[in-house]
């Protein structure tokens, strides 16, 4: 960091930073949306099918749990490349922002699903038993008990997932995905333009801070009583 001249900040290509920020936000927003759409049901399924739970299906649970573990143990960079055929099939291209979204979603679903499972496990068994004693059917238990009771935890899980996704987007540069992280690597690391790195890292920091603050505020608003 020695000899860094603040005036260099003036030479930063701000329009490119702007494009990169937009790319990151797009990747983050779209992939978070799809992660929740697919990961929430996955988490619920993991929870209710686990041994001793509401609809215990030990074999189904073992298979799902294994798949989740496999996907979570693959480094994201590998996932980016392995998924290229699937990405081509789904969005018609395997590069750029659109090409990055499929691997981001596939990488984040098992992560979020597992978090959801853990949040649901924290729900008091007595409350579930009470609803069973009132004749609640499984869908009623899921939508009227599990999800509302777990809402603060679920928002917390979504926040953690969003922050993790910001980290993943940095690697999307490998397939030309763009975004702030990619910019930091290409300019800041590979071309020794420290000022670009500082700006992008600062922006990423602001983004993560904003996500966490917004998530915490939501949790606080829906915490009970």
Partner 1 sequence: MIEVRNLSKHFSHEGRRIAALDDVSLQVAAGEIYGIIGRSGAGKSTLIRCLNLLERPDSGTVTLGEQELTALPEAELQLRRQRIGMVFQHFNLLRSRTVGGNVRFPLELAGTLSPAQMDARVDELLQLVGLADHKDKRPSQLSGGQKQRVGIARALANHPDLLLCDEATSALDPETTDSILALLADINRQLNLTIVLITHDMRVIRQLCDHVSVMDHGKVVEKGSVLDVFLQPQHAVTRSLLAETGFGQGERVEAWRARIGVPLLKLTFVGEPTLSPVLDKVGRETGLRVNLLSGTLSEIRDTPCGQLLVGVVASDVELPALPEIFAREGVRCEVLA
> Which one of residues 81, 127, 214, 217 is an interface residue with partner 1 (CB under 8 A)?
127
Longest dimension (CA), the chain: 72
In the bound state with partner 1, the residue whose beta carbon lies nearer, of 118 and 132, is 132
Is there a contact between 178 and 23 (Cβ–Cβ < 8 Å)? Answer: yes
Decide if residue 220 touches partner 1 (CB under 8 A): no
Scanning residues 65 to 124, which ones bind partner 1 (CB under 8 A)?
A: 124
Tokens, residue 188: 């800041």
Is there a contact between 31 and 104 (Cβ–Cβ < 8 Å)? Answer: yes
In the bound state with partner 1, the residue whose beta carbon lies nearer, of 192 and 224, is 224
Decide if residue 56 touches partner 1 (CB under 8 A): no
Segment lying near partner 1 (by CB under 8 A), choices 113-121, 137-145, 174-182, 207-215? 137-145
User: The tokens 């990055």 sit on which residue?
Assistant: 100
In the bound state with partner 1, the residue whose beta carbon lies nearer, of 130 and 214, is 130
- Contacts of residue 102, defined as CB under 8 A and 6 or more positions apart, other chains included, come to 83, 86, 87, 90, 91
CB of 145 to partner 1, least distance (A): 7
**Nearest-5° angle of CA 44, CA 172, CA 86?**
60
The residues that touch partner 1, with contacts defined as CB under 8 A, are: 124, 126-127, 129-137, 140, 144-145, 148-149, 151, 224-225
């Amino acid at each position: 960091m020695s000899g860094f001249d603040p005036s260099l900040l003036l030479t930063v290509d701000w329009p490119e930073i702007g494009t990169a920020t937009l790319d990151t936000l797009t990747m983050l927003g779209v992939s978070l949306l799809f992660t929740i759409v697919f990961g929430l049901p996955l988490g619920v399924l993991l929870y209710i099918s686990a041994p001793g739970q509401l609809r215990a299906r030990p074999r189904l649970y073992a298979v799902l749990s294994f798949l989740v573990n496999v996907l979570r143990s693959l480094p994201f960079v590998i996932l980016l490349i392995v998924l290229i055929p699937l990405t081509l099939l789904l969005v018609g291209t395997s590069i750029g922002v659109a090409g990055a979204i499929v691997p981001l979603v596939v990488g984040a679903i098992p992560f979020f699903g597992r978090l959801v499972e853990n949040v649901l496990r924290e729900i008091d068994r007595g409350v579930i038993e009470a609803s069973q004693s009132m004749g609640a059917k499984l869908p009623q238990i899921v939508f009227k008990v599990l999800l509302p009771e777990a809402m603060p935890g679920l928002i917390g899980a979504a926040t953690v997932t969003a922050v993790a996704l910001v980290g993943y987007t940095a690697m999307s540069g490998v397939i030309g995905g763009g975004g702030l992280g990619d910019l930091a690597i290409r300019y800041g690391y590979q071309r020794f333009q420290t000022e670009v790195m500082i700006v992008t890292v600062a922006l990423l920091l602001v983004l993560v801070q904003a996500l966490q603050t917004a998530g915490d505020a939501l949790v606080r608003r829906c915490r009970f009583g």
